[in-house]
Chain A
């Protein structure tokens, strides 16, 4: 079974981002890491390939620069190889443009199964999985909390507002996974050393048959007209509990007339 996993390299969430006010794009001059949300898809792919008795796990990623730090993490977990679409022209590319690039790269892999997260931790548009599926002309099952594959059919427990649905679908299919679908492994020392020599193919926008004008900020079809600070929520009293702070809560609840 050939599995493609879309992964994103993002600025460390612990290191808050900033908007470049001249270009209205995210500043990405910090070191990028593997989006934690994507580690679930990588783990799921590795487990599915294993239970299928073999297969390949190819990472598909896109970044304006040639960053590979996050990809090496996923390769160290056990992925076989990676395709990185990197091109300066990609700066400012929106979700649809991103999906177009990723879909073109996935076509090269001829994957039976495409895995993604439900949304990235930094952009969280949550539309890329459906967009990739539509571009590839394949079905999709989003928000999976459990996946099994047997006899060319994927069975998914799909999270819903009310609970979950059992969904089945023939391959090839795209499945987006929720955090918690599996417990991602930590890369072993051997894995980390081995990852350094695993193949990472670099592709440009032109390699995928697109021009620079079709991607980036110009290709987006939307523009930011204003950036403003949101109304700040002030904080109130903070009390260190010395055994009786619950009394403060009780009187606060009384003030609110909750009790």
Chain B
């Protein structure tokens, strides 16, 4: 591969982990690695450069406009003008999906989604994607000579800095978006949580529907705190409104790969399993002995979370 572009995402001048993970892989696969982004590129050029990007193309601030239509239009225009990468990697995030989807229409080229690995093939990248909740892997290649568009799942690669110098910053012009640019962000809300971040914590304690009701979720927070970890949740619990989306572990939420994952009252739906199966060690507590979660647990306890967890907390407190 000659040139790969990686979509960079950042919050308050800090580059998202998924971006750094993709840069590590891109560096391995291509001679030249560039980043494409919306927002303030100067604030992140040093960090992106340290991780192997030589150049960052940015649309600059969008004044409340959404990344999807703007970056897709900017990229399509750049590609049309002859700046043609072999492929563009996007993280499986809200904005990543928006941009990749719109760009695919502009280039009339498909997107390969849910990518967990990339390798160099003959003139094309070969992507690996898990299907059926990770039971089977398929390998896919693009059959056209258009730039490949890949959506990469978080935690697929390890972010490693190579102490490269700051990336050069270059503007990416955004053509007139017409109606597609009509949406405006008028306010941003950050849902703060204490302790380590869910997708970075070494220990994650997650609760599911088996807890019974919203008030009982506090025991998950208590156990996470006692172990110095982060609290997570299954989709069922988030959908029921017990905890915010930022807690969700799974296909639609966060992918976590902690040293230790404790699943309490979680049966182990495919949707959940794809988000936590990569954990080093898994402990599951569930009253249903047939729950699929036991199939991936290193230690499984068939029992009532309302009995086992208080006992466990007390034992930890008495140490």
A180 and B241 contact, CB distance less than 8 A: yes
Within 8 A of A (CB), among B177-194: 178-191
Known: A129-B101, A164-B189, A179-B235. A134 touches B180 (CB 8 A): yes
A-B contact pairs, 8 of them (CB 8 A): A125-B151, A133-B69, A166-B186, A178-B245, A221-B144, A228-B139, A229-B136, A245-B308
Known: A138-B179, A236-B300. A131 touches B101 (CB 8 A): yes
Q: How far is the CB of A211 from chain B (nearest CB, A)?
A: 15
Known: A94-B110, A95-B110, A142-B97. A222 touches B143 (CB 8 A): yes
Known: A159-B94, A168-B183, A235-B294. A140 touches B68 (CB 8 A): yes
- Cβ-defined partner of A163 (8 Å) among B106, B136, B191: B191
Within 8 A of B (CB), among A209-237: 220-230, 233, 235-237
Within 8 A of B (CB), among A96-154: 96, 99, 118-119, 121, 124-131, 133-135, 137-143, 145
Q: Which of A73-81, A192-200, A249-257 contacts B (4 or more CB under 8 A)?
A: A249-257
Q: Which of B22-30, B51-59, B127-135, B160-168 contacts A (4 or more CB under 8 A)?
A: B127-135
Which residues of chain B have C-beta atoms less than 8 A from A24's C-beta? 138
B68 and A249 contact, CB distance less than 8 A: no
Known: A139-B69, A160-B94, A240-B289. A230 touches B299 (CB 8 A): no
A238 and B289 contact, CB distance less than 8 A: yes
Q: Which of B40-48, B77-85, B309-317 contacts A (4 or more CB under 8 A)?
A: B309-317
Which residues of chain B have C-beta atoms less than 8 A from A158's C-beta? 94, 185
Within 8 A of A (CB), among B220-267: 227, 235, 238-241, 244-246, 251-252, 259-260
Q: Which of B31-39, B111-119, B206-214 contacts A (4 or more CB under 8 A)?
A: B111-119
Q: A96-B104, A139-B181, A237-B300 are in contact. List 13 more A-B contacts (CB 8 A).
A: A24-B138, A94-B110, A126-B97, A127-B104, A134-B102, A135-B105, A138-B182, A140-B69, A165-B185, A179-B235, A228-B139, A230-B130, A256-B260
- Cβ-defined partner of A141 (8 Å) among B114, B181, B183: B183
Q: How far is the CB of B208 from chain A (nearest CB, A)?
A: 15
Q: How far is the CB of B310 from chain A (nearest CB, A)?
A: 9
| Residue ID in chain A nearest B111 by CB atoms | A127
Q: Which of A2-10, A11-19, A52-60, A82-90 contacts B (4 or more CB under 8 A)?
A: A11-19
Known: A235-B297, A237-B300, A259-B227. A223 touches B183 (CB 8 A): no
Q: How many residues of B contact A (CB 8 A)?
A: 96
Q: How many residues of A contact B (CB 8 A)?
A: 79
**Does A203 touch B at the CB level, under 8 Å?**
no
**Does B304 touch A at the CB level, under 8 Å?**
yes
Please report B residues at the A interface, Cβ cutoff 8 Å: 11, 16, 66, 68-69, 72, 92-94, 97-102, 104-106, 108-114, 121, 126, 130-132, 134-144, 146, 151, 178-191, 203, 227, 235, 238-241, 244-246, 251-252, 259-260, 270-271, 277, 281, 283, 285, 289, 294-304, 307-308, 311-312, 315-316, 319
B102 and A126 contact, CB distance less than 8 A: no
| Residue ID in chain A nearest B239 by CB atoms | A180
| Residue ID in chain B nearest A257 by CB atoms | B259
Known: A230-B135, A241-B302. A128 touches B101 (CB 8 A): yes
**Does A66 touch B at the CB level, under 8 Å?**
no
Task: Count A/B pairs, Cβ under 8 Å.
Answer: 265
Measured between alpha carbons, how far is A221 from B285 in the docked complex, in Å? Answer: 45
Measured between alpha carbons, how far is A165 from B185 in the docked complex, in Å? Answer: 6
Which residues of chain A have C-beta atoms less than 8 A from B141's C-beta? 222-223, 225
Measured between alpha carbons, how far is A173 from B240 in the docked complex, in Å? Answer: 27
Measured between alpha carbons, how far is A248 from B240 in the docked complex, in Å? Answer: 32
A227 and B138 contact, CB distance less than 8 A: yes
- Cβ-defined partner of A134 (8 Å) among B72, B92, B112: B72
A139 and B180 contact, CB distance less than 8 A: yes
Which residues of chain B have C-beta atoms less than 8 A from A139's C-beta? 66, 69, 179-183
Q: How far is the CB of B155 from chain A (nearest CB, A)?
A: 14
Which residues of chain A have C-beta atoms less than 8 A from B16's C-beta? 161
Which residues of chain A have C-beta atoms less than 8 A from B190's C-beta? 162-163
**Does A239 touch B at the CB level, under 8 Å?**
yes
